[in-house]
Amino acid sequence: MSGLQKAAILLIALGPEKSAQIFKHLKDEEIEELTLEIANTRSVTPQLKEDVINEFYQICLAQQYIAEGGIGYAKELLEQSFGEEKASDVISKLTASLQVRPFEFVRKADSTQLLNFIQDEHPQTIALILSYLAPAQAAQIVGALPPDKQADVAKRIAMMDRTSPDVIKEVERVLESKLSSLVNQDYTIVGGVDAIVEILNTVDRGTEKHIMETLEVDEPELADEIRKKMFVFEDILLLDDRAIQRVLRDVDNSDLSMALKGANEQVQAAIFKNMSSRLSAMIKEDMEFMGPVRMKDVEE
């Protein structure tokens, strides 16, 4: 059973009032994790509650003894209370939880920002930092390193054995000072392909066409990525008949008549095919009655 599961069971056993008091001392992300775990905990047997509470009590007792006289003193008192095996188990769990993993603060930094700060460091320094990161975060950084550094850093990670604690502390100190303006900050993602797609789906057709044509010349890959996420009137040809019929149910007839004035023959045929002959005749009549219309009005 994970520590998170045990913590959730402990809070369930303590009840809402005492749990609320504990929440006041936790970080927001810890509260979110615990709340989700509690919500996913369907049922807890009385025996399991008792086991978790006993373990919690033993660890609290061990922390108190360590504060009073160190680990040796704590182990001696715990052996007297619970026996040698249980005392060793409690001390092992406690010392493991007290250990701080090197470069823990780096996990809070944005990977792109972290890359900007370490990419010019010596490959051995980069390898040391990456070896302490989560695989997913380390992979992002390795993938973004210059090709000539990627293999060198990978080789150094693979060949790394033991590193002096003093060296680790010094690298941590330097890196933390560089990242001091970034650590513990919340990053808001702005811009990106999705953002420009939303904008282009809102602007008039002429502006959208100009932007896309320019991008297709300057940044063809980006233009292709944007186009894949955009919906233009011509994209209706990509839909099956049932989907087109669903779309038409939500479109005002006057808007549809105006839109079809600027549509090509293929689009017009696809639309008319998926409406009743009566409605089709009515739309065609409206289009004829409109006469010439400004392209700007059609695009809007």
In the chain, how many domains are there? 4
Residue 183 lies in a domain: no
Residue 86 lies in a domain: yes
pLDDT of residue 168: 72
Residue 24 lies in a domain: yes
Q: Are residues 43 and 117 in the same domain?
A: no
- For residues 182 and 113, give the distance between their C-alpha atoms in angstroms, rounded to a whole number: 8
Q: Are residues 79 and 7 in the same domain?
A: yes
Sign of the dihedral defined by the CA atoms of residues 96, 97, 103, 106, in that order: positive
Q: What is the pLDDT of residues 67-108, one digit of tens each?
A: 777 667 777 777 787 788 877 777 776 665 554 566 666 666
- For residues 295 and 300, give the distance between their C-alpha atoms in angstroms, rounded to a whole number: 9
Tokens 């006041």, located at residue: 24
Q: Are residues 220 and 236 in the same domain?
A: no
Q: Are residues 170 and 221 in the same domain?
A: no
Q: How far is CA 207 from the centre of its chain?
A: 33
**Residue 123 reports pLDDT greater than 80:** yes
In this structure, what token pair is assigned to residue 215? 């991008």
CATH of the domain at 276: 1.10.220.30
Lowest mean pLDDT among 251-260, 268-277, 287-296: 287-296
Residue 133's domain comprises 104-178
pTM of the predicted protein model = 0.33
Cα Dmax for the chain:
99
Q: Are residues 158 and 143 in the same domain?
A: yes
Q: Are residues 19 and 84 in the same domain?
A: yes
Residue 56 lies in a domain: yes
